[in-house]
Structure 1
Amino acid sequence: MSPSTERSADRSAAPTAVVTGASSGIGAATARRLAAEGYRTVLTARRAERIEALAAELTAAGHQALAHVLDVTDRPAVDAFADRLGPLAPGSVLVNNAGGALGLDPVATGDPADWRAMYEVNVLGVLNVTQALLPALVASGDGTVLVLTSTAGHGTYEGGAGYVAAKHGAHVLAETLRLEVCGQPVRVVEIAPGMVRTEEFSLTRFRGDAERADAVYAGVAEPLTAEDVADTVAWAVTRPPHVNVDLLVVRPRAQASNTKVHRER
């Protein structure tokens, strides 16, 4: 963090929203939405130029926003980030958004390296940041851990086993943590989006193959947008402190399940 970031990382009256994977898509949209709700946003991702530009955008709009380059799979870096962040004000939120999918291969031919990479970011990344920030969230007297999973964490589909397994892991992490912190002043919320069209998710999954990425949404008139999910996140975390939204599944109207999607011809 820069010197100005260090000064701003002190406890303040405004609650803090730490958003992982804030460089694009749902993460960036969530940061904008929570900034509008009055949170001091701390934007983390691996791409410095993206989060710095977003922090500048939010600051220019009159919001408190800080950018911090972070790889959630790097535990020493995560711990150092938490130490620099320091105490948190009541109402602060951790949004575990960093994640992603690689490939659409069947179990018989799936690349173990892809499976490992997906587990590292979708499960261990959530574990790293949650463990690092949980003490400060509890000490604040009113904290929230939010995990962005997926409908893939609640159902299977052919070709998706690696991603599905990882998101099931993230779901179980959130569910178990909720049991373990019961009685402490922290909520654990899981938001599980279905089909969301963002600029990078499917493109990353298919390693830059735009044709395959576009085919995912072919004929679907209105898939969810990043802003739809961000609105859902904001609603969940701004409920009164005694209200916990355990699990909220959000899909576009055209999607009834992971394998049932209406496509217009």
Structure 2
Amino acid sequence: MPITFITGATSGFGKAAAEKFAANGHALIINGRREDRLQALSNKLQEQYHVAVLPLVFDVRDQQAVFNAVQGLSAEWQQIDILVNNAGLAAGRDFFNEADLNDWNTMVDTNIKGFMYVAQAVSKLMVPLKKGHIINIGSIAGKQVYEKGNVYCATKHAVDALNQAMRIDLLRHNIRVTAIHPGAAETEFSLVRLKGDAKAASEVYTGMKALTAEDIAETIYWTTTLPPHVCVNDMIVTCVQQADAFYYNRV
């Protein structure tokens, strides 16, 4: 039974990915900060799909907590086949000169530093096995910068660069590294970004059928089903009504 480690599993892409991999017989290590949600998901997956699930509650921003959790895994759970490096967020959407520095720090600490901590901790376990697949969840904001995106876009550009760097540095260890960059996807993302303003969050997707968390989970899973000599390096995924970070066909 393959083992898949998913960060940010309590909502959005991470939760949908956990359900998809569990449905296909993977044992799961799931991570999140919200213990109640994580435990509820763990119970649901075990009951519905009869797979082993190990919930790990920690904040990816906490370097020591990340390494303690990963290094503290039992020998059996250390045999990780796939990492879905998903934990991330956007906080605020403001002009550069008006932005809240706390928002900036939260995004940098989560989307870059936390992202790196998890990837390094897990890759250290994959190296002796000479195999593994790391899937980094980026964003179309990592390809194009838009108004009021400033630091969020910067963090996702960093994810894009780090994805390339991981692929180069882990090449000698036969580890596949994939980046998936979603466009507009209707999850809790905008609600978090806009500080709980449900009306403003819903307006982000007005006039189009946006991606769902399940769409991205399907894409993530598909990249892991290809022959072992095949690696999808980089993929941008949008709904049909979105061409890039700027152009939409709203009806």
2:52 is the alignment partner of 1:36: no
Q: Distance in 2 between matches of 1:124 and 1:165?
A: 13
1:95 equivalent among 84, 104, 109: 84
CA–CA distance in structure 1, aligned partners of residues 102 and 51 of structure 2: 40
Equivalences for residues 104-183 of structure 1 within 5 A: 104-183=93-172
Cα deviation code 1:48-80 (max 9, x no counterpart): 111111110111021221211011011111111
Distance 2:100 2:52 in 1: 42
Aligned length: 249
Partner-residue secondary structure (3-state), 2:65: helix
| Cα displacement string for residues 205-226 of structure 1 (whole angstroms, at most 9, x for unaligned residues) | 0101111111101111x10000
The 5 A counterparts of 1:1-265 are: 14-61=1-48, 62-87=50-75, 92-198=81-187, 200-220=188-208, 222-264=209-251
Q: Which amino acid aligns with 2:118?
A: V
- Give the drift of 1:91: 6.9
The C-alpha deviation readout for 1:79-130, integer Å capped at 9, x for no partner, is 1111122445767111111001011111121222211210110111110011
With normalisation by structure 1, the TM-score equals 0.91
Q: Secondary structure at the match of 1:183?
A: helix
**How big is the shift at 1:183?**
2.0
Change (3 A) 1:90 1:245: farther
1:190 aligned counterpart, secondary structure: strand
1:74 to 1:90, Cα distance in 2 relative to 1, 3 A: closer
Q: Which runs of 5+ in 2 are unaligned?
A: none
Work out the CA distance in 2 between the residues paired with 1:181 and 1:136.
Answer: 12
Matched letter for residue 64 of structure 1: A
Q: Which amino acid aligns with 1:68?
A: L
Q: Extract unaligned runs of 5+ from structure 1.
A: 1-13
Structure 1 vs Structure 2: percent identity of aligned residues? 38
Q: Secondary structure at the match of 1:85?
A: coil
TM-score normalised according to structure 2 size: 0.96
